[in-house]
C-alpha cells in the first residue's frame, strides 16, 4: 500500500469519529495556543528591555552621593551632598573616560499661553545628551556658551512638548518656568520608559548653571544629585570603575579603611542582569505552556489506544488481505500526527489572536517570530510521534488470526 493510500485511510478513520477527533485535538489546540501566547509575552518583554538598554546609552556608570545616618538610622544613597561639578570635570579627564554629565533635578511648573504642565526639570551639561544617547526631533541642544552664561534656554522631552504645544512646533517659542521666560531650543525624540519604569520623555533640560542660580537653587553651591559617566569601551569598564573610585576617594580625602561617601553603579551590568532575567522568564513561560502539550499528547495516546482496541477486527482484515506491519504502523502514526498538526494550526491562530488581544488591552509589547511558530509545530509533531508510536506499534504487532477472532 502506497503512502497516499495510507493517508487516505487515516483521514477516513478520523472523519468517522469526528467528535472523538475534535475532543482529542482540543488538548493540542490549548497546548500550542498556550506556547505561542507565553513565548510571545516573554519575547516581548525581552525585546522591550533590549530596546530600553540600547536607548539608555552604552558603557555607562552612574555615580551618586553617599549615605548619611542620624541616631542609628541610615537614610540611603544620595541623602548627603558629597559630589560636585568639579568631581565630574576631574573624572572626565581620566584616560578610560570619554565624557561625564553632572545632574541636578527637581520639579517645576511650566506655562505656555493658556496651558500649564508640571514636570521634572533636569539641569545638566551638553554632554548629557551624547552620554544618554538622546536624539533630536527638532532644533538642537543648548551649548557650552549657554552653560557658561547660564542662559535661559530649554530642551523639551516629547511628552512635555506635546502637553504644552499640542502638535505646534515648540522650537523658537518662549515658555515660563517658575514664572521665568525660557527659550525652547530643541525637542528630543521619544525614548519611553526607563528600566525603573519612569517616563523619560516627561522631562525638560536646562543648563546646570541656570538651574542652580535661577530655578532649583542650591544649599550647597556646586553640589550635584548624580553624574553619568561614559567609558570609552566595554573592555575598560572594570578599570574605569577602579579609577573613578580611587580619584573620588583622593578628592574627598577619605582615609584608608573608611567607607566611600559615594556609590559607583555599573549600568551596563545592571542591564545585563535585566536581560538575563527576561530570558529566564521567557524560558519559564515556555516550559509552563509546554506542559499543556504533554497533557494533550497523553490524551492522544489514550484515545489512540481505545481506537486500536475498537478497530482490532479491521486491522485483522487488512492484514489478511495483504497489509504489512509497516503499513498499519504508518497509518496509526499518521492519524496521531494529523490530529497534532490540525490542532496545532488552530492553536496557532488562537495563540496569535490571544496575543493581539493582550497587547491591546494591557498595552504590552508582544513579539511573535517564525522561529517561535516553527518550534510550536515541531513540538506538536514530536508529541504526535512520541505518544502515537505506542498505540501504532501495538496495532502493528497484532496477529491477523487473533485480530479476526476479536469481538
Residue 377 inside a domain? The answer is yes
Same domain, 199 and 279: no
Same domain, 128 and 232: yes
The reported pLDDT for the residue numbered 78 is: 47
Same domain, 213 and 359: no
Same domain, 86 and 211: yes
The number of beta carbons lying within 10 Å of the beta carbon of residue 109 is 13
Residue 268 inside a domain? The answer is no
Q: Which residues contact 318 (CB under 8 A, 6 or more apart)?
A: 327, 328
Residue 233 inside a domain? The answer is yes
Residue 67 inside a domain? The answer is no
Residue 314 inside a domain? The answer is yes
The number of beta carbons lying within 10 Å of the beta carbon of residue 363 is 7
* Structural domain range at position 355: 3-52+275-405
Same domain, 21 and 130: no
Q: Which residues of the chain have pLDDT under 50?
A: 68-79
Residue 58 inside a domain? The answer is no
Same domain, 312 and 387: yes
The cell for 100 is: 561625564
* Total number of domains constituting the chain: 2
Four-residue CA torsion sign, 112, 187, 60, 40: positive
Residue 269 inside a domain? The answer is no
Same domain, 253 and 310: no
Same domain, 285 and 236: no
Same domain, 247 and 279: no
Same domain, 218 and 297: no
200, 225, 260: which is the final residue of a domain? 260
The reported pLDDT for the residue numbered 68 is: 44
The reported pLDDT for the residue numbered 9 is: 64
The reported pLDDT for the residue numbered 388 is: 74
Distance CA 163, CA 183 (A): 17
231, 260, 289: which is the final residue of a domain? 260
260, 293, 313: which is the final residue of a domain? 260
Contact 108, 211 (CB under 8 A): no
Residue 180 inside a domain? The answer is yes
Interval 135-190: pLDDT, tens: 999 999 999 999 999 999 999 999 999 999 988 899 999 999 988 999 999 999 98
Same domain, 94 and 173: yes
Same domain, 253 and 284: no
Amino acid at each position: 500500500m502506497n503512502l497516499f493510500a495510507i493517508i487516505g485511510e487515516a483521514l477516513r478513520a478520523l472523519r468517522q469519529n469526528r467528535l472523538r477527533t475534535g475532543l482529542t485535538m482540543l488538548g493540542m489546540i490549548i497546548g500550542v495556543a498556550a506556547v505561542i501566547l507565553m513565548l510571545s509575552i516573554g519575547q516581548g518583554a525581552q525585546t522591550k528591555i533590549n530596546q530600553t538598554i540600547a536607548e539608555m546609552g552604552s558603557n555607562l556608570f552612574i555615580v551618586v552621593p553617599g549615605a548619611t545616618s542620624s541616631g542609628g538610622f541610615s537614610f540611603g544613597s544620595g541623602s548627603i551632598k558629597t559630589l560636585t561639578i568639579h568631581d565630574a570635570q576631574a573624572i572626565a579627564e581620566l584616560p578610560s573616560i570619554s565624557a561625564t554629565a553632572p545632574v541636578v533635578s527637581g520639579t517645576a511648573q511650566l506655562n505656555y499661553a493658556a496651558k500649564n504642565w508640571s514636570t521634572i526639570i533636569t539641569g545638566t551639561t551638553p554632554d548629557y545628551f551624547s552620554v544618554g544617547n538622546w536624539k533630536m526631533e527638532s532644533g538642537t541642544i543648548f551649548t557650552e556658551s549657554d552653560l557658561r552664561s547660564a542662559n535661559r534656554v530649554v530642551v523639551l522631552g516629547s511628552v512635555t512638548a506635546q502637553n504644552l504645544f499640542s502638535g505646534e512646533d515648540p522650537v523658537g517659542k518662549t515658555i515660563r518656568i517658575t514664572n521665568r521666560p525660557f527659550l525652547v531650543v530643541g525637542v528630543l525624540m521619544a525614548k519611553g520608559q526607563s528600566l525603573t519604569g519612569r517616563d523619560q520623555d516627561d522631562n525638560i533640560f536646562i543648563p546646570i548653571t541656570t538651574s542652580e542660580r535661577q530655578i532649583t537653587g542650591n544649599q550647597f553651591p556646586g553640589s550635584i544629585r548624580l553624574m553619568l559617566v561614559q567609558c570609552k569601551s566595554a573592555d575598560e569598564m572594570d578599570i574605569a570603575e577602579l579609577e573613578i573610585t580611587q580619584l573620588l576617594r583622593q578628592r574627598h580625602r577619605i582615609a584608608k579603611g573608611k567607607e566611600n561617601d559615594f556609590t559607583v553603579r555599573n549600568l551596563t551590568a545592571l542591564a545585563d542582569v535585566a536581560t538575563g532575567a527576561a530570558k529566564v522568564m521567557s524560558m519559564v513561560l515556555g516550559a509552563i505552556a509546554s506542559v499543556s502539550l504533554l497533557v494533550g499528547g497523553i490524551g492522544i495516546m489514550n484515545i489512540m489506544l481505545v481506537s486500536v482496541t475498537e478497530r482490532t477486527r479491521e486491522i485483522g482484515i487488512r492484514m489478511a488481505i495483504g497489509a504489512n506491519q509497516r503499513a498499519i504502523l504508518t497509518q496509526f502514526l499518521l492519524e496521531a500526527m494529523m490530529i497534532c498538526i490540525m490542532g496545532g494550526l488552530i492553536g496557532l491562530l488562537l495563540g496569535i489572536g490571544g496575543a493581539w488581544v493582550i497587547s491591546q488591552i494591557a498595552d504590552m509589547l508582544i513579539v511573535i517570530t517564525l522561529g517561535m511558530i516553527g518550534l510550536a509545530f515541531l513540538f506538536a509533531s514530536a508529541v504526535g510521534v512520541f505518544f502515537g508510536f505506542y498505540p501504532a506499534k501495538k496495532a502493528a504487532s497484532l496477529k491477523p488470526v487473533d485480530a479476526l477472532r476479536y469481538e
